[in-house]
Amino acid sequence: METFLIYLFKASILLSIFYGVYFLLLRKDTFFTINRHFLLVGIITSILLPFVEFTTIKFIKNPVFYVTETHLPASENVIPETINWWLIGFILYGLGALIFLSRFGLQLLSLKKLLTHHQGVKKDGFNFIEVTQDIAPFSFFKTIVYNPALHSAEELDMILKHEKIHVQQFHTLDLILMNLLLIFQWVNPFAWFYKKNLEQNLEFIADREAIHQITSKKEYQLTLLRVSSNNYSTITNNFYQSLIKKRIIMLNKQSSQSKKLWKITVILPLLSLFLWSFNTEEVVRIKQDTKTNQNPSENIIFQKKGEKIIEFIVDKSSSKEDLNKVKNTLKNDYSLEVKFSGIKRNEANEITSIKVDISSKKGTTNYAISNDTPINSFAIIYNSETGKIEIGQSGNSPNYVWVVDKDGKTKKGSTIKIHSGDKKNEFIFNNGDHKDIYKIHTNDNKTFAYITGDRDGEPLIYIDGKKTTKKEMEKLDSDTIEMINVLKGKSAIKKYGDKGNNGVIEITTKKN
């Protein structure tokens, strides 16, 4: 649905580009046959070119992208499901297309009824049908329809010569193709102008060719003026097409010089600009550090615990491959349709704008952010039991996870394991509050836990059961850490008394 509407938008842009070039540069020239081919190429290009995509590869440093599953408190607010504007737009478009398709079908049925109720005379490859209705002469494929009682013999001769040109050059195909495209692009105002100019150009071609077969150009022009009529079908070639004045002007206009044909080439850079703007896909590759290639770290780390909540953290460094992993995981494991769109990056390849649309059986959830600066991290949270989806800011989260335990009532602490990618290290965070985290660094410049918030002093720090200082703790190498317990609020006070009022960090190192 969204993909189709994007395709429609691209097709409309392309048709509008061709119309702009024709209207501004070509319509006043007498290259009628070349203009016909140009307009036909415009129709075909608008249909096919949106499917053509080019790929560019950009290398960035390896980002870290975490996914966790936790149990959220029962009081957790859920972001309201929003209106699916894509669906509404698609329905409105579909209704319009259905109306114009029905209109086109009725025109064909009306034409078929007219042709089948009259006996035709075949001569020289043409099928001539004489009618008694007050309608303008027209041609449809090899059939030419006219009312002989409405015209003199001289007028009828000129009219038939004109209509024979339409038949011989298969102009009906142009009109049918244009009418079908108009059903598809009825929302594009330039498509309607395109149809009008295409029909006009076909009349210019037939007028020019017919004049070569008529002894008096003046009489031909007088015939146009005397017998003007608008009673004709839009899917047929009609002798008395409107804008007679323009047809007469073009008949008397001096042939354009061939050197003016260069104007057609203006379409080429415009098509290149379109492809560069809309159809160039950037593939971001992870540039591996030669120092860490032996144990490459995964960009997304999955940890399933409790089968209730799954959380994805998206940050400014997330690559297209990272986002595709999120999309595929939610689709394959949880039957969620995820769409990342409107992605813009700065020169450092950091995301500055992004839009997220997620659809489930419960409804849809949308999230969008657009800045001149890199985005803050945000989380995609899905409750697999209730089907609720949340998307919101998570701040500039470092590489850690937490389990919420604000009131200390949890009898058995939940734990989440974080794998470093090479599976050598596992950090376990227990009963921490992600809103009050204190930052911990190690001597290898890795940050792996926080306890912050409104407090007067520093948290207690214990390493292997012994009380220590922050300075000593920061001398640790993260590779030596086996487990970290972060206690806060009542959980800390219950175990350590009033000394745990500012939180407690318990670190267990590897015994070997």
Select from 374, 395, 416 the last residue of a domain.
Answer: 395
Task: Evaluate whether residue 464 is within a structural domain.
Answer: yes
At residue 215, φ and ψ (nearest 5 deg) are -75, -30
Residue 477 and residue 480: Cα distance in Å, rounded?
6
Answer yes or no: is pLDDT of 137 > 50.
yes
Task: Evaluate whether residue 288 is within a structural domain.
Answer: no
Residue 190 and residue 188: Cα distance in Å, rounded?
5
Tokens of 310: 């799954």
| Selection from 346-350, 394-398, 504-508 with the highest mean pLDDT | 346-350
Confidence of residue 15 (pLDDT cuts 50, 70, 90): very high
**What is the Cβ-side half-sphere exposure of residue 322, based on CA atoms within 13 angstroms?**
25
Confidence of residue 234 (pLDDT cuts 50, 70, 90): low
pLDDT of residue 70: 43
- Report how far apart the first and last C-alpha atoms of the chain are (Å, whole number): 57
What pLDDT, in 10s, does the model give residues 438-471?
445 455 444 444 444 444 567 888 888 899 987 7
Task: Evaluate whether residue 292 is within a structural domain.
Answer: no
Whether residues 351 and 412 share a domain: the answer is no
Whether residues 337 and 237 share a domain: the answer is no
Task: Provide DSSP, 135-165.
Answer: ---EEETTEEEE-GGGS-HHHHHHHHHHHHH
Select from 273, 306, 334 the last residue of a domain.
Answer: 273
Q: How many domains does the chain have?
A: 3
Task: Evaluate whether residue 483 is within a structural domain.
Answer: yes
Task: Evaluate whether residue 287 is within a structural domain.
Answer: no
Whether residues 109 and 242 share a domain: the answer is yes
Mean pLDDT of 359-374: 79
What pLDDT, in 10s, does the model give residues 111-125?
999 999 888 899 999
442: containing domain: 398-512
Burial of 310 (0-12, 13-18, 19+ CB in 10 A): buried
